Amino acid sequence: MSGVAFVDSSILIYAHDRDAGPRRDRARRLCEQLRRESSGCLSVQVLQESYVTVTRKLRTPVARAQAQELVRTYASWVASPTTPVTVTRATELSEAAEIGFWHALIVPAAEQSGAETLYSEDLNDGQVIAGVRVVNPLR
C-alpha cells in the first residue's frame, strides 16, 4: 500500500462491530495497517457517523466510553476541515457521479486530504471519482 488512503465510515464501523465476523477482521487489519504506515485519513463526518452507528445501531452496541475513545484515536486522521467549499463540491460530485449526497461528501474530503484511495463498501469498487479510486476492502 502506498499514498494517503481515506477510510469511509462503513469500514471504521465494521472494524469495531463485534458481530461482523470476517468483515470485522478485514476492516481491523486495514485500519491497523494504515495506522502503522501513517497513511490513513478520514473526515469529521466519518467520525460522527461511526460514533452514532457503533453506539446505537449495532446488534451489540459499543459502550459510549469505548466509542469516545474510538473518536479520540481516529481524530488524528482528520486531515482537512469540512467547509462550505467541501459541501459545494459534494453537491457537484453527487450529480456528476450519480451518488447520494452523504456519500458524495466524503469524496471532496478525500480529495482535499490528498488521498489516492477511498476505502468504502458503500461506493462502487474500482470507480474513480474526482481522481480518487474507490476500493472495497471487504470483497
Residue ranges per structural domain of the chain: 5-134
118: its cell numbers: 477511498
Report which of 139, 137, 107 is spatially closest to residue 1, judged by C-alpha positions: 137
Per-residue confidence (pLDDT) for residue 114, from 0 to 100: 96
User: pLDDT (tens digit, 9 = 90+) per residue, 4-23?
Assistant: 999 999 999 999 999 999 99
Query: What is the pLDDT, as a whole number, of residue 2?
Result: 62
Q: What percent of the chain has pLDDT over 90?
A: 97
Cell of 91: 453537491
Burial class of residue 75, CB neighbours in 10 A (0-12, 13-18, 19+): exposed
Fold of 5-134: Rossmann fold (3.40.50)
